[in-house]
Structure formats: C-alpha cells, structure tokens
Amino acid sequence: MLPPRRMPSPMVQPAELAARDRSTAALICELCRQFYDLGWVSGTGGGISIRDAEGVWVAPSGVQKERIDPDDVYLLADGAWDRVEVLAAPRDPQLKISECQPLFFNAFRLRGAGAVLHSHSLWAVLAARLASPASSGPGGVAGEFRSRNLEMQKGLRGHGCFDELCVPIIPNTPRESQLTDSMAAAIEAYPDVDAVIVAGHGIYVWGRDWIQAKTQAECLDYLMRASVEAHRLAIPLT
C-alpha cells in the first residue's frame, strides 16, 4: 500500500517558472500531438511524463493534449514519491495536475523509469477485452495479454520475436488515482515487461527514457492491433 498523498506544495512565482529549462516540456507537447494523431490521447484522455535534471514534467489533466504548450506543463519534484511537490506550475490557474500522476510515479519509483506514457488506444482496450473478458468491469479478475512469434516483439525490452510476451491487465476504477495500488502490484509481479493494461481504459508504458517508452508503446500497439485483427479474421497468430 502506498503512503497517503499529501497536498501539493505552494506553486513557484512566475519569475522562477520562466527561469526553468522547459525543453522537456516542449518535447511533451510535441509527443502529445503525435499521440493524438495515433488516436491515443483524444478527448483529453491519456498523457505523458518525463524526468530530466529539473525534475518530473507532467502534462495537465482534462485538456486537449494536442493543443497544450510548454507553459501548460507541470514540473514536480523528482524522488518525492509519497507526495506531490510542485516546482513549477502552469501560468493558467485553471489547469490541474494530471490524474495519471500517481501512476506515473509508480513506474518512476518501482522501475527507475525515465518516461511514462498513458494511451487510450482502442487496440489496447479491445485486446484486453478479448484476452480477459471478465476483467472489463469494476471488480473483475485481472488477466493477461499474450503474444508470440511476431517480429515487433523485438522492440520490447528483453523480448525476441519467438518469445512469449505477457502483459498484465488490471480492472478499471471510477478514478484514475484508484488504480495506484493495483498497478503497483502488477509492476512488481511482472518484472520482465514495461507495461500495464487497464481493462476498458488503455495502457501505461514506460522506459529508461522517452525514446524507449515511445518505442515500446508503438510496438505494443502494433501487437495488440495484430491480435484484434487476427481475431476478426479468425486466423491464428502462432
């Protein structure tokens, strides 16, 4: 069980905000536009967080991800996993920290990740439903997405094309933060994979840096789409 979350620390003054190197925030905006084009962050869903020398950058919650700008991105303290310590906040006071924040922190804390992204990919939702129908609603039993004999598996840490890939599926909850404990348990139970699927919701993927996280997310999306299309065509993948 993770410690209770504390209230965010007071926000920095605009002068301090301007002094920050916001190149990572600009990268988050660029990636969010790419993810929007893939259908991963439509309808204000999804998000991304990246660590750098400044701290942990997180896209805001409940906004059009393809339209955010670097000044909209939060900077949080790195290593303060039991609380939310805001180092630099957006200039717009109406913005809020991403609902994904505690889930991003899971991968940072438990895996030493350098970047985590959250996709609302339709392929993740459908592949999870096919792999584990019982886990599609609240209180459902967790399941697994499995894949083997596909070349794109080579883009995943520690996997070859003939290995069996096994990604945990956890049940969804009414609020994103309520997934924190079940996601942490899945991360610890599946050390050989850098992803957790949330049934009826999407997927969290991480890596040592944003490049590996993005690569693995794209490869997983391909594998999940292959699974769904194979089912639709009634052909085997193995």
Is there a contact between 217 and 119 (Cβ–Cβ < 8 Å)?
yes
The one catalytic residue among 151, 164, 188, 229: 151
151 is catalytic: yes
Cα–Cα distance measured from residue 167 to residue 148, given in angstroms and rounded to the nearest whole number: 12
Q: Which two tokens stand for residue 212?
A: 């590996």
CA distance 51 to 56: 4
Q: What are phi and psi of 94, to 5 degrees?
A: -80, -15
Token digits of residue 35 = 């993810």
Instruction: Look at the alpha carbons of 220, 224, 229, 235 in this order and tell me if their dihedral is positive or negative.
Output: positive
Catalytically annotated residues? 151
